Copies of this chain bind each other. A is one copy, B any other.
Amino acid sequence: MTVTLADVAARARVSPATVSRVLNGNYPVATSTRDRVLRAVNDLDYVLNGPASSLAAATSDLVGILVNDIADPFFGIMAGAAQSQIGGPGDGSGRAGGEKLAVVCNTGGSPERELTYLTLLQRQRAAAVVLTGGAVEDPAHQAAMAAKLAKLADAGTTVVFCGRPPLPDSDAVLAALAFDNRGGARALTEHLLELGHRRIGYVAGPLERTTTRHRLEGHREAMRAAGLDGDQDRLTVHGWYDRASGYDATRELLSREGEVTAVVAANDTVALGACAAIRDHGLRIPEDISVAGFDDLPFSVDAVPALTTVRLPLAEAGAQAGRLAMGKEKPPAGGILTIEAELMVRGSTAAPRG
């Protein structure tokens, strides 16, 4: 039926162990022997049985990359970069060699699915797991995550965070690459303040996520430093990280607050929705109202006017996370690395009227 390693061994006139050594390549084998084995592998079109090999070796070549929303380029860019470091270049033949199987798992932002995926990866004895994007701050979930990650680490799975703050009191995580969301948000709001804005609406993400909190905190730090902390809560609307939320929240801001001169959005996608709402309201950007986003996704520069935003080096961070997961790079001191954000000033922000 299906070709096994023993078949290959028989055909190459060597022992199964030798075939295994050739295939795994972590053991010296005479060149002539290896050639014979490889020829047999080709002749029989043999493909290693992953489960069997994982069972025997007590580890698999699976690497999981968890993302909150696979349809969001924010995650796609990070995941793609991570995968490129993990999957290996291949040998151009389509025949799999020693590569890892880098796969991305879409949690949809649900804490339960995040845990489920981790359990599934634990079950597969995954070699590594990369968790991308902000975390949910619910204490129960955090505790469950810490416990689960500890178990994974115990079983030999490397855990890396990418764009996620470190878990307190946990040494299960090899490295945490955290974006400086707070600093980026602060710089962005400072930019608006310098332009002369005083009444700045904020369309935030879901309340319980670290990314949301950090960006909001940065914004408020800047406001407070400028002596503006009176009606912050009234000027903040929470929603999800999508276009519709940006649209709805901005409509609300515009209707109940005629005097907002600028809208800061949780991210670029939300900003796009905000722009649409502002236009539908009959106002111009940036003449009547300034708009700013966050992330600097590829489409942001093509918005009209081009979106002022905060650039996050998503691809670089993803690639580094991939390398860390593969053990190609040693983790930063303390296991934590803060990745700087860069303010990108474009056409969607300007001084307020009058």
Q: Which residue of B lies closest to A74 (CB)?
A: B71
Q: Which residue of B lies closest to A279 (CB)?
A: B304
* Segment with Cβ contacts to B, from A27-35, A91-99, A255-263: A91-99
Whether B299 contacts A94 by the Cβ 8 Å rule is no
Whether B73 contacts A80 by the Cβ 8 Å rule is no
A103 CB–B CB distance under 8 Å: yes
Q: From known contacts A77-B71, A87-B113, A112-B90, infer whether A103 and B64 are also in contact, taking CB-CB under 8 Å.
A: yes
Bound form: Cα–Cα A269–B299 in Å? 8
A55 CB–B CB distance under 8 Å: yes
Q: Which residue of B lies closest to A64 (CB)?
A: B103
A51 CB–B CB distance under 8 Å: yes
Whether A104 contacts B50 by the Cβ 8 Å rule is no
Q: Given B71, B90, B155, B298, which contacts A2 in the complex, CB threshold below 8 Å?
A: B155
Q: A37-58, CB under 8 A of B: which get 1 and which 0? A: 0000000010111111111000
Residues 54-97 (chain A) with a chain B CB within 8 angstroms? 54-55, 60-62, 64, 69-73, 76-77, 79-80, 83-84, 87, 90, 92-96
Q: Given B103, B113, B148, B304, which contacts A103 in the complex, CB threshold below 8 Å?
A: B103
A272 CB–B CB distance under 8 Å: yes
A115 CB–B CB distance under 8 Å: yes
Q: A172-184, CB under 8 A of B: which get 1 and which 0? A: 0000000000000
Whether B108 contacts A80 by the Cβ 8 Å rule is yes
Chain B residues with CB under 8 A of A155: 2
Bound form: Cα–Cα A69–B298 in Å? 14
Question: Number of A residues contacting the other chain (C-beta, 8 Å)?
Answer: 73
Q: Which residue of B lies closest to A59 (CB)?
A: B51
Whether A55 contacts B49 by the Cβ 8 Å rule is yes
Summarize A's interface: helix, strand, loop or mixed: helix
Q: A103-122, CB under 8 A of B: which get 1 and which 0? A: 11110100111111111111
Write the nearest CB–CB distance from A109 to chain B, whole angstroms. Answer: 11
Bound form: Cα–Cα A243–B80 in Å? 17
Bound form: Cα–Cα A230–B298 in Å? 36
Write the nearest CB–CB distance from A344 to chain B, whole angstroms. Answer: 16
Q: Given B50, B94, B102, B118, which contacts A124 in the complex, CB threshold below 8 Å?
A: B50
A10 CB–B CB distance under 8 Å: no
Q: From known contacts A48-B123, A275-B302, infer whether A72 and B64 are also in contact, taking CB-CB under 8 Å.
A: no
Given contacts A49-B125, A62-B124, 15 further A-B contacts (CB under 8 A): A47-B119, A51-B53, A61-B120, A69-B76, A71-B80, A73-B73, A83-B105, A92-B112, A94-B115, A96-B119, A96-B120, A99-B116, A101-B117, A101-B121, A104-B104
User: Which residues of A are at the interface with B, using a C-beta cutoff of 8 A?
Assistant: 2, 45, 47-55, 60-62, 64, 69-73, 76-77, 79-80, 83-84, 87, 90, 92-96, 99, 101-106, 108, 111-125, 144, 148, 151, 155, 243, 269, 272-273, 275-276, 279, 298-299, 301-304
